[in-house]
């Protein structure tokens, strides 16, 4: 059932994004009086699930959910329809229009995806407002992954700035992204009242990308669910017990407990805890992984201040646009990482399986719209890349024509489309192939 919910969310999100993108091309084409032969959600090789002719346009739904298309008369596109191009240009064809009109017809899809993202973020801001734990309110510092600790971080360090930018008002979850995506990767921390600078080398990013929890909030050790076969269950620890000592050494936070247990693998430790206000001690066996068999419990909001703010509709507009611009900036930084071979970030590229995984296993409108807005930005940015067969490739040729006053030949455009199509197929195979290899445990 969880997989089905993820699939439904993915298909619904991609369908909306494709429709909006192709609608951008359609609206500008009709604005400049170009004939649109076909408008399809999903691809329809050999047959269509639905089609209906309205005016000059055939509207339809294909069976292959890998995108969609808007076939504009007189345009060399992914359909590679050459018959129409053998005829004399007609006034209602794309190729008969001036370059500036063709520019807007091509960029229309990208503009609509950016606009959709902004509208969604405005809607999210108005409906849900802002609720987050600000970095400045994390008084006890963070717990850091082993990879970050190897670079000089210590549990309890407070993060003051990233690349010289104060991050006290930022959402704490954004700090992790800032550390990975920043250019200089200089992090100013405070440890024991003393500030110092930690520099993260570019070659370390490859390891950091594989670490899902670079920084996490420090939590007091409250026992949640107890595993049936673990040392905690055998010793008699119960949900709600608050662990405070190991072998009479104080442990305040879960990361301190974990570090202490790592030193006592395959051993027995004396654990001190409070139950119903009374201090007790029990001998507990530690397994060969340094664990005693329980999940952390307690309420995060009992230990951290939640910053909240509601917005009126007018206030939501600038705040929503600001959110959208931040997401665009972060995604561009991610692409820069992927394009840098030394970071190894290209290995994290995924296809439809990766996209499906980012949706929650239970339906959440907030999560759905947040992910859809992000995917809309990703679709817009990727489409604007100067690759033949993508919108960005067409724009390059149009800009060339506007500068030189000469249009590339139709033969050249056909070859460029073939090259671009091969590149896209290669990227599709690489991305989805990486997904499959990760599922098999190979990558």
Give residue 437's pLDDT band: very low, low, confident or very high (50, 70, 90). Answer: very low
Q: Is it true that 130-215+299-309 and 223-297 share their CATH fold?
A: yes
Q: How far is it, in rounded angstroms, from Cα 272 to Cα 280?
A: 6
pLDDT over 90 at 158, yes or no: yes
- Give the other-Cβ count within 10 Å of 116's Cβ: 25
Q: Which two tokens stand for residue 119?
A: 């509208």
At CA 387, angle to CA 385 and CA 388, rounded to 5?
A: 140
Q: What is the DSSP letter of 264?
A: T
DSSP3 helix / strand / coil % (the chain, rounded to 5): 45, 20, 30
pLDDT in tens, 240-297: 999 999 999 999 899 999 889 999 999 999 999 999 999 999 999 999 999 999 988 8
Contact 71, 56 (CB under 8 A): no
Which tokens in the block code for residue 305?
């201040």
298-342: per-residue pLDDT in tens? 777 778 888 788 899 999 999 999 999 988 888 887 777 666 655
pLDDT at 378 over 50: yes
What is the pLDDT at residue 364? 85
Looking at residue 313, its pLDDT comes to 92
Place of tokens 């190897």: 150
pLDDT at residue 346 greater than cutoff 90 = no
**Arithmetic mean of pLDDT, 28-42:** 93
Query: Which range, 26-35, 87-96, 327-336, is most confident?
Result: 26-35
Helix (H, G, I), strand (E, B) or coil at 293: coil
Per-residue pLDDT, 441? 45
**H or E element, residue 347:** none
Band of pLDDT at residue 442, cut at 50, 70 and 90: very low
Band (8; pLDDT cuts 50, 70, 90): confident
Domain boundaries in the chain?
2-20+70-128+365-439, 130-215+299-309, 223-297
Residue 132: CB atoms within 10 A of its CB come to 16
Per-residue pLDDT tens over the stretch 222-245: 998 888 888 999 999 999 999 999
Following DSSP, what letter does each residue of 89-146 receive, concatenated?
P-TTSGGGS-HHHHHHHHHHHHHHHHHHHHHHHHHHHHHH-EEE-BGGG-TT-EEE-H
The third-level CATH classification (topology) of the domain covering 223-297 is: Pdz3 Domain (2.30.42)
For residue 66, what are the contacts with CB-CB under 8 A and spacing of at least 6? Answer: 42, 43, 428
**pLDDT above 70 (res 413):** no
CATH architecture of residue range(s) 130-215+299-309: Roll (2.30)
**Average pLDDT of the segment spanning 1-18:** 85
Q: What tokens were used for 367?
A: 């999560």
Tell me the sheet residues that pair with 53: 58
DSSP state of 305: P
Per-residue pLDDT averaged across 1-7, rounded? 79
pLDDT of the residue at 359:
74
pLDDT digits (tens, 9 = 90+) for 128-157: 998 888 888 888 899 998 889 999 999 999
353-373 pLDDT, tens digit each: 555 567 777 888 988 999 999
Q: How many residues does the chain have?
A: 443
Question: Which residues are bridge partners to 190 per DSSP?
Answer: 158, 195
Q: Pick the residue with more confidence: 180 or 197?
A: 197
Q: List, for residues 38-57, the tens digit of each pLDDT value.
A: 999 988 888 889 999 998 89
How high is the pLDDT of residue 214?
A: 86
- Asked whether the beta carbons of 137 and 168 are under 8 A apart, the reply is no
Phi/psi-derived region of residue 156, left when phi > 0, alpha when psi is between -120 and 50, beta in every other case: left
399 Rama class: left (phi>0) / alpha (psi -120 to 50) / beta: alpha
Helix 99-128 to helix 365-383 angle, to the nearest 10 degrees? 160
Top pLDDT among 220 and 66 is at 220
The most confident of 123-127, 185-189, 399-403, by mean pLDDT: 123-127
Amino acid 443: pLDDT = 46
Q: Name which of 43-47, 203-207, 326-330, 394-398 the model is least confident about.
A: 203-207
């Amino acid at each position: 059932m969880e997989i089905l919910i993820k699939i439904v969310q993915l298909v619904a999100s991609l369908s909306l994004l494709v429709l909006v993108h192709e609608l951008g091309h359609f609206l500008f084409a009709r604005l400049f009086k170009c004939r649109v032969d076909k408008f399809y959600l999903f691809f329809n090789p050999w047959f269509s699930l639905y089609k209906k002719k309205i005016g000059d346009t055939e509207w339809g739904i294909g069976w292959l959910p890998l995108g969609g298309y808007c076939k504009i008369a007189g345009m060399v596109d992914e359909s590679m329809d050459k018959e129409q191009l053998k005829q004399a240009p007609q006034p209602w064809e794309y190729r008969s229009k001036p370059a500036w009109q063709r520019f807007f017809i091509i960029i229309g899809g990208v503009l609509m995806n950016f606009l959709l993202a902004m509208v969604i973020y405005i809607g999210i801001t108005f409906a849900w407002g802002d609720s987050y734990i600000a970095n400045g309110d994390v008084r006890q510092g963070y717990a850091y992954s082993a990879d970050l600790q190897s670079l000089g971080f210590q549990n309890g360090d407070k993060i003051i700035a990233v690349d010289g930018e104060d991050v006290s008002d930022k959402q704490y979850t954004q700090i992790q992204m800032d550390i990975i995506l920043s250019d200089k990767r200089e992090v100013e921390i405070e440890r024991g009242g003393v500030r110092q600078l930690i520099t993260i080398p570019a070659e370390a990013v490859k390891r950091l990308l594989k670490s899902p929890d670079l920084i996490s909030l420090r939590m007091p050790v409250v026992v949640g669910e107890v595993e049936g076969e673990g040392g905690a269950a055998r010793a008699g620890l119960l949900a709600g017990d608050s662990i405070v000592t190991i072998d009479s050494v104080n442990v305040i936070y879960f990361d301190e407990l974990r570090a202490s247990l790592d030193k006592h693998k395959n051993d027995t430790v004396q654990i001190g805890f409070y139950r119903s206000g009374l201090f007790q001690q029990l001998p507990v066996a530690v397994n060969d992984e340094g664990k005693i068999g329980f999940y952390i419990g307690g309420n995060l909001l009992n230990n951290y201040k939640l910053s909240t703010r509601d917005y009126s509709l007018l206030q939501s507009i600038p705040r929503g646009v600001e959110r959208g611009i931040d997401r665009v900036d972060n995604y561009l930084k991610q692409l820069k990482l992927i394009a840098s071979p030394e970071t190894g970030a290209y290995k994290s590229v995924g296809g439809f399986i990766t996209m499906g995984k980012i949706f929650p296993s239970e339906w959440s409108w907030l999560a759905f719209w947040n992910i859809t807005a992000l995917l809309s930005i990703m679709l817009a940015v990727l489409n604007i890349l100067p690759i033949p067969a993508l919108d960005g490739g067409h724009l390059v040729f149009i800009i060339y024509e506007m500068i030189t006053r000469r249009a590339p030949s139709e033969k050249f455009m056909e070859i460029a489309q073939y090259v671009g199509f091969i590149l896209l197929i290669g990227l599709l195979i690489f991305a989805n192939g990486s997904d499959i290899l990760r599922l098999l445990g190979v990558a």
